[in-house]
Amino acid sequence: MRASTKGYILCFLGVFCWSFSEIIVWLLKPRVGVTGSGVGSISLSFYRFFFGGIFLLILMVIQKDLTGFVELIKKDLKLMLLSSVIGLGISNMIYFLGIQAYGTEAHVGAALYTSYTLFIGIYSIFILNERTNIPLKIIGFIIGFFGILILLTNFNFAIIMQPDKITGNILLVLAGAIWGLYSVLGKKIFRRNPGIKNVDVKFTIWSFFLSCIPIAITLPFSGEVPDFLQHDTTEWGLIAFLAIVSTGIGLYIFFIGVKSIDVSHGISFSLLKPVIAAFFAFVLLTRPIPDAMWVSVPLVSVAVLLINRKPKEKQREISSLRPNGE
């Protein structure tokens, strides 16, 4: 199997793992008027990154591969802090702030937050010099983002501009813009440390733990401390699944994938995330599939194809290098 093909498959599987997140967060949502029910958003953010990091660290211990951990943080401390503390930790809190404090509807917030795909495409051009097929990438990201808005607003675009929700909506786009730095700077760190074995896993472990810093600082002011460890078996099971599968394994697989393809190509599969999440909601939560999905799915599919299409010049160049024009 070609490295690029394997990269695409792994990136899709990573996004597939992420797609469980909304379902789990919905299942863990505190119930109104029921003290101690569910899991608060700040606590859940801490759990997902801390336990996700522990899981990946255990994998490295089992493989007896701890070399390069200290070297990685020493060599790229500034990039690690920028991508992890800000790009992962703070962006996650801004996302929850927009949803909880400013009343943005969760489904609208998910659509706006997915704007990170657009920002990653832009960042990749300037930070990673990924300049192939730029016009089609831009068109693809715009079409895909529009398809997501159709799905998650069900054609009711007016709810995005409601005066009482505009601040929250702006915060969600800002969170998406900041999170976009995480994936791009992650690949930049990979490139700077080619000699470190499993650098992608080690970066992910460091980033998970570092992202807990701003979350832990915020936690005492969230009102969630009294119930921080007061969860039943079902809730802990869902927390573990979110941390290990959706977060740990999901990001691990994704970063392995983007080692062999452009980040903008890999992240394009995130446009499928709301579609996959809607399907999971239908199967697991028996929630109806919106009519808008029949319009959204073709748009998002076209967007992914456009973003990942190779330019004709590159295809001809590849053909010319093959023996006998094969």
Region class of 155: left (phi > 0), else alpha (psi between -120 and 50), else beta = left
Residue 159 CB coordination number (10 Å): 15
Provide the number of structural domains found in the chain: 1
pLDDT score recorded for residue 46 = 93
pLDDT score recorded for residue 289 = 64
> Is 130:124 a contact under the CB 8 Å cutoff?
yes
The domain of 60 spans 40-309
What is the rounded distance in angstroms from the CA atom of residue 97 to the CA atom of residue 169? 10
In a domain, 314, yes or no: no
In a domain, 33, yes or no: no
pLDDT score recorded for residue 322 = 45
In a domain, 234, yes or no: yes
What is the rounded distance in angstroms from the CA atom of residue 109 to the CA atom of residue 320? 47
pTM here?
Answer: 0.75
What is the rounded distance in angstroms from the CA atom of residue 28 to the CA atom of residue 83? 27
Q: Which of 260, 267, 250 is nearest to 208 (CA)?
A: 250
In a domain, 321, yes or no: no
Upper half-sphere CA count for residue 272 (Cβ side, 13 Å) = 19
In a domain, 247, yes or no: yes
Contacts of residues 107-110 at CB distance under 8 Å and 24 or more positions apart, as own/partner, are 107/152, 107/153, 108/152, 108/153, 108/159, 108/160, 108/165, 108/169, 109/168, 109/169, 109/172, 110/22, 110/152, 110/274, 110/277
Upper half-sphere CA count for residue 22 (Cβ side, 13 Å) = 25
In a domain, 178, yes or no: yes
3-class SS of residue 196: coil
In a domain, 322, yes or no: no
Q: Which of 32, 55, 97 is nearest to 247 (CA)?
A: 55
pLDDT score recorded for residue 169 = 74
Angle at 186 between CA 276 and CA 74, to 5 degrees: 150
Burial (CB < 10 A; 0-12, 13-18, 19+), residue 134, is: middle
pLDDT score recorded for residue 253 = 87
Residue 216 has φ and ψ, to the nearest 5°, of -65, -35
Task: Characterize 178-217 residue by residue with b for buried, 16 or more Cβ atoms within 10 angstroms of its Cβ, and e for exposed.
Answer: bbbbbbbbbbbbbeebeebebbbbbbbbbbbbbbbebbee
Binned average pLDDT, 10 residues per bin, the chain of 326 residues? 80 84 76 65 89 92 89 89 91 75 59 74 81 78 79 70 72 85 86 86 92 92 86 92 90 81 73 70 66 75 74 47 42
Q: Which of 196, 253, 252, 254 is nearest to 65 (CA)?
A: 196
3-class SS of residue 194: coil
Upper half-sphere CA count for residue 166 (Cβ side, 13 Å) = 5
Tokens of 270: 């995130």
In a domain, 9, yes or no: no
